[in-house]
Structure 1
Amino acid sequence: MQIRNGIFAALLCAALGVAHAATDEPTDRAALPEILVSASRFEESSNHVPANVKVITREEIENSSSNNIPEVLSQLGGLVVNGTSLGQLGLGASVDMGGYGATANSTTLILLDGQRLNPIDSSAVSWESIPLGSIQRIEILRGGASVQYGNGAVGGVINIITRNTGAKVNDVTVKAGSFGTVMTNADLNLGSGNTVLKLNANAANTDGWRENSAADLYSFGGKLTEFLDGPDQIYLGVNASHSNAQAPGGVMGEVGQGNPQLAKFNNVGSANKVDNSRVWLGDVQRLSDELTFEGEAMYGTRTSNFYQPYYSSQAAFNAGFASPSNNSLQSWSWNLTPRVKADWGKWGTTVAGYDFNKSNEGSSDQYSALAQQNLTLYGASRMNDSGNATLLSRSPYIIERFPLSSSVEVSGGARRQTQAATAYDANAYSPAVNASKTYSANAADLAVNFNYLDGQKVFVKWNQSFRFPNIDEFWGWDPVTFNRIFNGILQPQVSQTYETGGEWNVWQTRLTASLFQSDTQHEIRYDPNTGANANDPNVIRRKGIMFDSTTSVTQNLIVSLGGKLQKSRYAGGAYNGNTISLVPDATFNARASYTLDAHWGLGGVMTYIGSQYYDGDVTNTLHKIPSATVADVYSSYKSGPWEARFTIKNIAGSNYATTGGHGSVSMPNGTFVSSYYYYPSDPRAYYLTLKYAY
């Protein structure tokens, strides 16, 4: 504990040192280039964005120890990333930007070239569908942004922007390492005149370090861009992916107890297959000197199948289990997002747009012959489960920016989103149910931004954002029989946030920092006492401070520090003052890269994740998931078109977990016991990477 506290103190002191240097040294405007962001749905300088924004560049991704997008977001973005079976390929990762814990998947909005990737259920984003080599940059916008993006943008927005520049560098990368892990990636860039074609393919597989944790994935991405006059362009993008990941399940007990390598008894042989495909068309047109049009249309499909053979076995029959051994999901969605920007010169700018989205998902659960005998014994009304849900959203919005002077701007906006939801459920133990409901939610923000120098700004902001329930939150579980039940369509939750912060570029340092407080009404949460999802009647308050800094200490040494101190607590009711589960109070991140000469380089990253309550501990009376400090290091060698990199991940071999819970756990004899459980993170691992660019 003393070591962890020492690391915590060292990181905090280093961060304060960077901030002190940033205020004492003269400005060097040439030290760091201008950054473009899409916080208003149009590219602009970060100087004009009243928000805490971070951009991860392609160069930073390539010069890191990250193997996948979730690791990039954790190690380079400083975000809280967890999951129940991440493994070496980062599958099923959840990103929590707002301190929402178990509902992080629905409160952090993930975009690909401005188009939402979040499924309409509780599933994680299929990160594997985006080849790492296809990424130009990742923009991280912290805080509520429902005015700009609508549903789900309450904790923050991550916009993954793919490559469409004219560069024609091609490369092939092969990475091999621990647990039989092999990853390959190939980039092909073609072009003729104003036409640019980017193709990327990725394949990876691993044996896993736990029993029943092998995984493989394949993905392909392509983007064809026709550059017209000036900024005008039209582009067509496609990507597709397939993943097959075994699911070892949780480990019974508190973190550090039990054998983390063993799979849970009813997870042996289980696996989850996911197929994704997506196509999108985008257009950028300068209509006049004052007006610019942008718009995208996207259509995507997703199919998944979770197979759990235990529930087809004699052991399950003897224990009285009657659960499905096959669960299949089929979903589709399409979006239309036109918008226009008017530049009024000294009178500021106006952005007006309209987002249209329609999504559908159907589910089918199949029971084995033995399980059906149990269903008959317990009086089931049918021998399978099925469900279907459709969401239809319409959402106009407007964003205004008005300069009061050459350095002071007032900005604000508003959005109204209406969502019509329909649902059907027919399961083994309940009568068929049809439901429909239409809800509306409003978003608004108002900010003052003081950009007194290039790369220097201070802002004050008020924001209201919202999220509608995902379709899984229409259902729950009977706390006595543990059978699935339909709870109804919940109303949207609404968060109001007050934030002040800034950005400073001085003494070869870029520092961003902000203070925030957010109050959420009608928050959608799972109640372990009733087994149902519900709109919480109490206000939940989140407040804290976050910062991020990057310093060019010397021409060869770059150091980055970032962190977040936050509290996520009930502000009333029976749980007044209690902390939300699965939300650490503190996270810190430190990175360094050092170039020895024209060939050799070194680097490393260290991440600290504070302790947090296990999922299900609403009373805060149980033990906590302990804090953890994890470090990666790497060395690289470049010669001509070749680059070799050796990486050690979790160099100290820490035995830790970032996800766990407390509740009823099934036992082999068919009984349920109240217990802790957790999902262990990867131990120490070694990787060798070879890259050839031509």
Structure 2
Amino acid sequence: MIFAVSPRRALCARPLALVSALSLCFASGAALAAQALPEVTVTGARFASDPALAPIGATVITADEIRRAGAADVNQAIRKIGGVYGRQSLDGSPDFSLDLRGFGTNSSQNMVVTLDGVRMSESELSNAALSSIPIETVERIDIIRGGASVLYGEGATGGVIHIVTRRPAANGRRGMLRAEAGQFGLRDLRAALAQSWNGFALDASVGSARTDNYRDHNGFELDTFSGGAQWAYQGGRAGLRIERARQESELPGALGARQFGENPRQANTPDDIGALDSDRLTAFAEQRVGAFDLAAELSRRERTARSTYFYNMDGARVASKSTYESVQTQFSPRLRHLAQMGGMLNELVAGVDLVKWTRVTDSDYSNADAAQKSKALYVRDELKFGGERQARVAAGARRERFEKDATDARAFATPYDSEQTLNAWEVQGSVDVMQAVNLYAKAGRSYRVANVDENGYRSSPGVLAPQTSRDLELGLVYGNPALGASARLFRHQLRNEIFFDPSANGGFGANTNLDPTQRKGVEVEAHASIARDWRVSGNWQHVRARFTDGRNAGSEMVLVPKNTVSARLAWVPGNGHSADIGAQWAGKQRFGADFANTCGVRISSATTVDARYAYQTGAWEFAVAGLNLADKRYTSNAYGCNSGIYPSDGRQIKVSARYDF
């Protein structure tokens, strides 16, 4: 995590995303709204919609799978069960950097995360803080790989992750208490309560986590609160939600190869610290008017990040302090028309996204004021038809305009004032070629714009050019819940990819637009019930990330494993006992500075194993779980040639108790 955007620290950390706990908001209101609205599921169209229009080619993680695997948070569930590769967080938080389709250290900027349809991804160099979402409230997680800029705007080239919370029964109460403790001083307490009465619902959740973590000087503390109220009425619902998060981190810094070999737990920066305060207020409404559904969210997020870094100057220890205060306001109205037409189901979605973001910096090296505004209009239409052999076709387009400006007399980068307009499009289709076999194809154009952190320390006089991608995917899906498999071939042709180049700026590094790059590969998923009480699942991703032109043409992109594999075996006999064991393997990858592929060594491949056993009796559940059971020494983050290493966590054993009421 970066709490200051110091160019000297740019290789060592990332700023933390807003800690959002939208845990029960939509869950409470959805049950109430069901009194007036048909039973629906959230889909990729940013609306609750017909289950027949579920996202094409999506990976779905269910609540049962999450609980069996003992995932402690949403981020861990996406990695362990969904097979998404993740890199160890740099700030001690459990929010690993998730990577869809091999985008390396900028993976979080090439992926959009939503919670009940509301975008969580930030306009800064930060990961979505999924660990603050109570995992017990999650109904399912949909992973949609590939370009999705039409509906979700910039940064959706790698894909979208939808988190959907579960719906409580109307006129009821639900609550949960959970405590967990483990090695490295882990203490995690959580509580949640939701109550509904006819057309009104209240909910609240709190969490408090403390851990010393695997490394020295890597303590992490997180306190969260989320509360909301909703009203359901004939044909619609409305509500208000407030979220509050407070976080403190100790930052141990990177290690050299010798340090890593001798003791990967040691700290290299034993005094560096950071803190983050974030608050978000969201109002939302949904209304059915004739054949149309209308919906909108209005949110305001305030975020303050503070850091203190130490360095040596003339034999003395000098502190460098910084504070960032940012405010983001977002308004997203949209409409949907869902209708049967001559035996065909048609869904038309159109909407507007308006975002205003500002940030003020107070640090020893910068007093920057920066702002960004964006206005977007999008439309998408999908048609489902056919008898026994169902078919679907969809097409959509988006146009978005960005206005950016920044001023800072003390900054390294030149102030700027610019406007950029970008277009995205997509065409998708699928057909049931035979019973239980579906073939689909996707094509489109997605984009990403440089955020304020990237433009704040860039290689060019003007702002960085927008990144664009031509996206293509072919897929085949076979099977049913008991036995199934899917395979996808994909390709992303990128122009002006936005990335940190350590060789720029005289070797100090800078954010820049790369020469043309490409991501292409194959993804395979499979699952099977191999006996009455046993279930096995697994996935494999092979991705070739490389330069296709310029001085590094043919070279591999850095920090992208060519192959990743995960497999899980679950035992659920139905007598209160359950067990789950999983293994994850990531192949070799280039070090972070090795754009020319001249470093004589690579980051080694690594296999980690986790397991969980649980026993449930009445409303109680007791469990013991272990991570990295073989205590593998490895890294997923190393930013120099065999240097700048951030060690991954060692073995950890945890015990937990949970009470549902």
Aligned-partner Cα distance in 1 for 2:232–2:76: 33
Change (3 A) 1:49 1:173: closer
Uncovered stretches (5+) of structure 1, i.e. residues with no partner: 1-33, 367-383, 478-484, 664-674
1:152 partner amino acid: G
Query: For residues 367-446 of structure 1, what are the structure 2 equivalents within 5 Å?
Result: 384-403=365-384, 405-406=386-387, 407-427=390-410, 433-446=414-427
Aligned-partner Cα distance in 2 for 1:320–1:521: 46
Tell me the equivalent position of 1:560: 537
Change (3 A) 1:652 1:510: same
Q: Is the 8 A contact 1:252 1:258 kept in 2?
A: no
Residue 181 of structure 1 pairs with residue 156 of structure 2? no
Aligned-partner Cα distance in 2 for 1:451–1:227: 38
Tell me the equivalent position of 2:593: 616
Deviation at 1:365?
1.2
Tell me the equivalent position of 1:70: 75
RMSD of aligned C-alpha atoms? 2.4
Query: For residues 258-297 of structure 1, what are the structure 2 equivalents within 5 Å?
Result: 258-264=262-268, 267-288=269-290, 290-297=291-298
**Secondary structure class of the residue paired with 1:512:** strand
Deviation at 1:49?
4.9
Deviation at 1:256?
5.1
Larger Rg: 1
Deviation at 1:470?
1.1
Aligned-partner Cα distance in 2 for 1:321–1:388: 29
Change (3 A) 1:403 1:66: closer
Deviation at 1:47?
5.2
**Secondary structure class of the residue paired with 1:306:** strand
Aligned-partner Cα distance in 2 for 1:454–1:174: 46
Aligned-partner Cα distance in 2 for 1:269–1:546: 43
Tell me the equivalent position of 1:305: 306
Deviation by residue 1:549-585 (Cα, 9 ceiling, x = unmatched): 3323333212211121110111112111111101111
**Secondary structure class of the residue paired with 2:368:** strand
Tell me the equivalent position of 1:676: 643
Aligned-partner Cα distance in 2 for 1:224–1:263: 45
Tell me the equivalent position of 1:660: 638
Give TM-score, length-normalised by structure 1.
Answer: 0.83
Residue 338 of structure 1 pairs with residue 341 of structure 2? no
Deviation by residue 1:437-469 (Cα, 9 ceiling, x = unmatched): 000111001122114679753211111100111
**Greater displacement, 235-244 / 111-120:** 111-120
1:424 partner amino acid: T
Deviation at 1:120?
1.9
Tell me the equivalent position of 1:634: 612
Deviation at 1:240?
1.4
Uncovered stretches (5+) of structure 2, i.e. residues with no partner: 1-38
Residue 505 of structure 1 pairs with residue 510 of structure 2? no
Tell me the equivalent position of 1:606: 583
**Secondary structure class of the residue paired with 1:553:** strand
1:64 partner amino acid: A
Aligned-partner Cα distance in 1 for 2:157–2:259: 30
**Secondary structure class of the residue paired with 1:636:** strand
**Greater displacement, 437-446 / 511-520:** 511-520
2:660 partner amino acid: A
Deviation by residue 1:533-563 (Cα, 9 ceiling, x = unmatched): 2222x32111111122332333321221112
Tell me the equivalent position of 2:106: 103
Aligned-partner Cα distance in 2 for 1:188–1:649: 29
Change (3 A) 1:79 1:462: same
Change (3 A) 1:130 1:361: farther
**Greater displacement, 161-170 / 174-183:** 161-170
**1:160 aligned residue (144, 163, 178):** 163
**Secondary structure class of the residue paired with 1:106:** helix
**Greater displacement, 134-143 / 273-282:** 134-143
2:340 partner amino acid: G
Deviation at 1:597?
4.4
Q: Is the 8 A contact 1:596 1:602 kept in 2?
A: no
Aligned-partner Cα distance in 2 for 1:567–1:466: 20
Change (3 A) 1:425 1:163: farther
Q: Is the 8 A contact 1:451 1:458 kept in 2?
A: yes
Residue 526 of structure 1 pairs with residue 521 of structure 2? no
Tell me the equivalent position of 2:30: none
Tell me the equivalent position of 1:472: 453
Change (3 A) 1:83 1:475: farther
Q: Is the 8 A contact 1:397 1:414 kept in 2?
A: yes
Residue 646 of structure 1 pairs with residue 624 of structure 2? yes
Deviation by residue 1:128-182 (Cα, 9 ceiling, x = unmatched): 4433344333221111100011011111111223344336331111000001101
2:607 partner amino acid: T
Q: Is the 8 A contact 1:46 1:53 kept in 2?
A: no
Change (3 A) 1:153 1:556: same
Residue 145 of structure 1 pairs with residue 126 of structure 2? no
Count matched residues: 611
Aligned-partner Cα distance in 1 for 2:159–2:399: 19
Q: Is the 8 A contact 2:68 2:578 kept in 1?
A: no
Tell me the equivalent position of 1:689: 656
Give TM-score, length-normalised by structure 2.
Answer: 0.87
Aligned-partner Cα distance in 1 for 2:56–2:400: 22
Q: Is the 8 A contact 1:106 1:470 kept in 2?
A: no
Deviation by residue 1:189-232 (Cα, 9 ceiling, x = unmatched): 211123232321111101223210111111112233323336x3
Deviation at 1:243?
1.0
Tell me the equivalent position of 2:313: 317
Residue 491 of structure 1 pairs with residue 473 of structure 2? no
Residue 234 of structure 1 pairs with residue 238 of structure 2? yes
Percentage of pairs with the same residue? 26
1:147 partner amino acid: V
Q: Is the 8 A contact 2:40 2:48 kept in 1?
A: no
**Secondary structure class of the residue paired with 2:263:** coil
Tell me the equivalent position of 1:198: 203
Q: Is the 8 A contact 1:128 1:243 kept in 2?
A: no
**Secondary structure class of the residue paired with 2:150:** helix
Deviation at 1:257?
2.1
Q: Is the 8 A contact 2:216 2:266 kept in 1?
A: yes
Tell me the equivalent position of 2:33: none
Change (3 A) 1:638 1:221: same
**1:112 aligned residue (99, 106, 115):** 115
1:353 partner amino acid: G
Aligned-partner Cα distance in 2 for 1:419–1:258: 49
Deviation at 1:513?
2.4
1:541 partner amino acid: Q
Aligned-partner Cα distance in 2 for 1:398–1:415: 7
Aligned-partner Cα distance in 1 for 2:575–2:299: 44
**Secondary structure class of the residue paired with 2:644:** strand
Aligned-partner Cα distance in 1 for 2:381–2:258: 51
Change (3 A) 1:489 1:644: same
Q: Is the 8 A contact 2:42 2:116 kept in 1?
A: no
Deviation by residue 1:410-432 (Cα, 9 ceiling, x = unmatched): 2110001110011112327x6x9
Change (3 A) 1:71 1:206: same
